[in-house]
Each structure stands twice: as structure tokens, then as C-alpha cells.
Homo-oligomer: A and B are copies of this chain.
Amino acid sequence: MTAGLQQGPGCPVPQVDLERVQLGHGSGGTMSAALLERCFLPHLANDTLAPLGDAAVFQAPAAELAFSTDTFVVHPLEFPGGDIGCLAVHGTVNDLAMMGATPKYLSVGFVLEEGLEMALLERIVASLARAARECGVPIATGDTKVVERGRGDGLYLNTAGIGAMTPGFAPRATLARAGDTIIVSGPLGRHGMAIMAAREGLRFEAEIESDTAPLHALVAALHDAVGQAIHVMRDPTRGGVASALNEIAAAAGVGMVLEERAFPIPEPVEAACEMLGLDPLYVANEGVLVALIAADAAGQALEVMRAHPAGAEAVAIGRVVDDHPGLVVLETRIGGRRVVDMLPGDQLPRIC
């Protein structure tokens, strides 16, 4: 719909396109208030957000807190299996969950590009709100800015999150110990390859969907079952499993041995990676965790994870060793061994 006044002869009238974001929506005035009322609040409304003050106020959810932030610049904004809205919720929820925290509150900051379709924005806000509800984490506070056409790419999103730590549970990289079993909770490489395919207009026999999903419930189930046998957890997003494991190996001064034949790479991901010359170990995941579990609890951990929807295809892919500290070594399908480094540069930009 385009709202224009009646146009008299010789009198050009400015046309205001109500279907697209305009600079005035970022002014802090009545247009900002209208955007909030019409597009944001119908989806995001909750008791914590409701007072719409300069900040949200709530009781501290635990004696010890976790605090995390992530900005999302994924392109395209919508992709098979998700969109930037639910991704922004899952990303921060998962960062909190990897520290052993229960996610409790999120903030959200929007950077809108002038000209963004209102209908697209509203779909994304709805998806973000749905994901937050499904995670049981209210959007407590937010902010919106608008930049001129050509100074953004539709929409960038930031989320920050506060989580409640559980006493006695603080998995971290430096707890990795020789003997630990390295488990991944599901198939690898789906998010990165879904984005790549959507961006490049690639078609494969089977469509690859992003795995974007929250992991906090899986972590809670795992903690209930094996407790402090969980030494380290990471969500291998940018840089993939290879980069996450390299960081842990470096931080803990341990070595790792991975078994290539154990990797759960879906056939379409494998085919797409082969075609594009990419290594699935470096491709981003958004609904998978890597856990280092004390060896004697690894069997039970796998069982519990497989009983949970988010971990149905969990599998052990390797072990922590005393040898070659700081190095991640791959035992290949054909019996060779090679070092798996960190991702050096930009395999896939703007994946999250």
C-alpha cells in the first residue's frame, strides 16, 4: 500500500511507502513508536518487556550468572530450515548452554536497512518471538536503528543473553583430560551448506536444511544423567568442529584423535562439500554441540543424548590423548593420519 495525498495539478506529492522501512522508523519519535506497536510488540510482548523502560528489571535468576552476546549478519535472511530471527535466539541460547547455564533472558538489537520489506521484517520478528517462547526465554529489552539504503543488508540482529549457572557445574575448555570421549550431538555441516546452497542458488538432489535449534534442554538432560563427567561443551558454529576442537586442544594443552569414519556427515552435505571443495569439519553448525565426556560416562551420555530429540543422532567421533598436545589429528577412512588445523580464513562469510 502506498499512502499519498490527493495530487493536485502540477503539485508533486511525496509518496510514503508504508510497506518498507524508512529512516524515520529509527528516529526515536512517533514513527519508531508506531513500528514498535505494529510490528514488534504483537509478537514479542511479555511481562518483563511490557514496561518498555530504558532497561528491563527482574530478580537475579541465580547466584552465579552467565552473560553472552552474538551479532547475526547471515545472508540470506531466510533459508531452508530457519531465518535470522530464530538463529539469533538459538545462537545466544546455545552459547549460554555451552557454559552450563540455563538461559533466562534475552535482549535484541535490530539494525534495519531503509527499504526493507515490512512483511519480511514481521516474519522475522515472529520467528524470533516463536523461538524465544519455545526456549522459555523472554525478550526482556530491545532497540531498533535504521541505516540508509546501501549501508546494511536488509537486517542485522544482535542478541545478548543472561543465564543461570547451576552450582558445581562449570564445563570449560581447560577441563579436557586425556581419555575423554569426544561426542557430537548430531549430523555435521547442515547450517553452513544450507546457507551456501540458498545463497548461490545451488540445487542438490535432497534439499539441505539448516540445523538451527536450541541445545539447552539437551544439555539439561545430559547434566541430569552424567553431571560433572561433562568436561567441555562447545557449539561448533563459525569455523566448524575443527576450529572448536583446536581451540579446546590449545586451551587445555591436550591432543585429540578423531576417526573420520565416525563423522556423521549427511550424504547431501558430503556431496555438496565435495562439489564446492569444502571440508565439512570446517562448516558451521547451529544446532549441534561437541562434548568432551569422561570416558567412563561416555556410554551413558550417548544413550541420554540419543533419547532426546536434539541429540537423536549423537555419536562419538574421537578421544582426547596425552600425545601431541595442542594438535587435533584425524585418522582417515583409508588409515592415514593428518593434522586438522583451525580454519585459517573465510571459508564461508556471513554464515551466522
Contact between B28 and A234 (Cβ–Cβ < 8 Å)? no
Q: A56-B66, A349-B146 are in contact. Are A172 and B51 (CB under 8 A)?
A: yes
Chain B interface: which of A96-104, A183-191, A206-214, A220-228?
A: A96-104
Contact between B67 and A162 (Cβ–Cβ < 8 Å)? yes
Contact between A67 and B172 (Cβ–Cβ < 8 Å)? no
**Complex contacts, A57 vs chain B, CB 8 Å:** 64-67, 99, 101, 165, 170
**Complex contacts, A345 vs chain B, CB 8 Å:** 22-24, 27, 29-31
CB A152 to nearest CB in B, in angstroms, measures 7
Chain B interface: which of A68-76, A256-264, A295-303?
A: A68-76
**Complex contacts, A24 vs chain B, CB 8 Å:** 344-346
Contact between A54 and B95 (Cβ–Cβ < 8 Å)? yes
Contact between A55 and B95 (Cβ–Cβ < 8 Å)? yes
Which of A73, A108, A153, A350 is most buried by chain B, counting CB atoms within 10 A of its CB?
A73
**Complex contacts, A94 vs chain B, CB 8 Å:** 54
Report how far A24 CA is from B345 CA in the complex, Å. 4
**Complex contacts, A111 vs chain B, CB 8 Å:** 71, 73, 111, 156
Report how far A24 CA is from B170 CA in the complex, Å. 31
Count residues of A near B (Cβ-Cβ below 8 Å): 86
Contact of A158 among B69, B148, B150, B234 (CB under 8 A): B69
| A26 interface hit (Cβ, 8 Å) | yes
Q: A27-B239, A69-B142, A140-B67 are in contact. Are A53 and B147 (CB under 8 A)?
A: no
| A237 interface hit (Cβ, 8 Å) | yes
| A203 interface hit (Cβ, 8 Å) | no
Report how far A51 CA is from B100 CA in the complex, Å. 15
Within 8 A of B (CB), among A132-170: 140-148, 150-153, 156, 158, 160-163, 165, 170
| A107 interface hit (Cβ, 8 Å) | yes
Number of copies: 2
| A326 interface hit (Cβ, 8 Å) | no
Report how far A28 CA is from B22 CA in the complex, Å. 33
Binding site secondary structure of chain A:
mixed
Contact between A26 and B349 (Cβ–Cβ < 8 Å)? yes
**Complex contacts, A348 vs chain B, CB 8 Å:** 27
- Mask: chain A, 28-60; 1 = CB below 8 Å from B; 0 = not: 111111000000000000000001011111111
Contact of A153 among B60, B99, B151, B284 (CB under 8 A): B151
Contact between A55 and B163 (Cβ–Cβ < 8 Å)? yes
| A249 interface hit (Cβ, 8 Å) | no
Report how far A343 CA is from B158 CA in the complex, Å. 26
**Complex contacts, A66 vs chain B, CB 8 Å:** 55-57
Contact of A27 among B65, B110, B143, B238 (CB under 8 A): B238
List 9 A-B pairs, minimum CB-CB distance, nearest first: A28-B238, A29-B343, A160-B160, A24-B345, A28-B239, A55-B68, A69-B107, A60-B60, A158-B158
Question: Residues of A with Cβ closer than 8 Å to B?
Answer: 22-24, 26-33, 51, 53-73, 94-96, 98-99, 101, 105, 107-111, 140-148, 150-153, 156, 158, 160-163, 165, 170, 172-173, 234-235, 237-239, 243, 282, 284, 341-350
